Amino acid sequence: MITRFLTDVRVKFNPFSPRAKPARLFLSLIPPNARADGMKVETKMLPRTSTEPATLDVKFKDGKELKLELDKMRIPEVMEEVDRHSRMLARKEELTGN
């Protein structure tokens, strides 16, 4: 997963719910030094009895925001959505020579 273009990651999930697996896996894919590189990571743990869906909000360096409902997705689909925009930003960076 390409994380160098992410500036803000917000995850909200019930850690006891089996539908929260994509949220937990996404957090595990963020490299340990990401916060030092300027990425802001926020997690909100919902109570065990919560029926609220797991959500992921991602903000990219170009300002685009991506909001995903994780209880309806699997981790490959989540990674595909995030990487799609990251690859576009990587191409732009490559073409401008920055």
CA distance 83 to 26: 12
Torsion of CA 11, 40, 93, 76, to 10 degrees: -20
Backbone angle region of 10, left / alpha / beta, with phi > 0 → left and psi within -120 to 50 → alpha: beta
The pLDDT assigned to 27 comes to 93
The band of 97, judged by pLDDT with boundaries at 50, 70 and 90, is confident
In the numeric block, which tokens belong to residue 27?
């957090």
What single-letter DSSP state applies at residue 46?
P
CATH class of the domain whose range is 6-96:
alpha beta
Backbone φ and ψ for 38, nearest 5 degrees, come out as 105, 5
The band of 98, judged by pLDDT with boundaries at 50, 70 and 90, is low
Give the pLDDT confidence of 15-62 residue by residue, as tens digits: 999 999 999 999 999 998 887 888 999 999 999 999 999 999 999 999
Cβ count within 10 A of residue 95: 8
- Record the pTM: 0.87
Give the pLDDT confidence of 53-93 residue by residue, as tens digits: 999 999 999 999 999 999 889 999 999 999 999 999 999 99
Indicate the domain borders of the chain: 6-96
The pLDDT assigned to 44 comes to 96
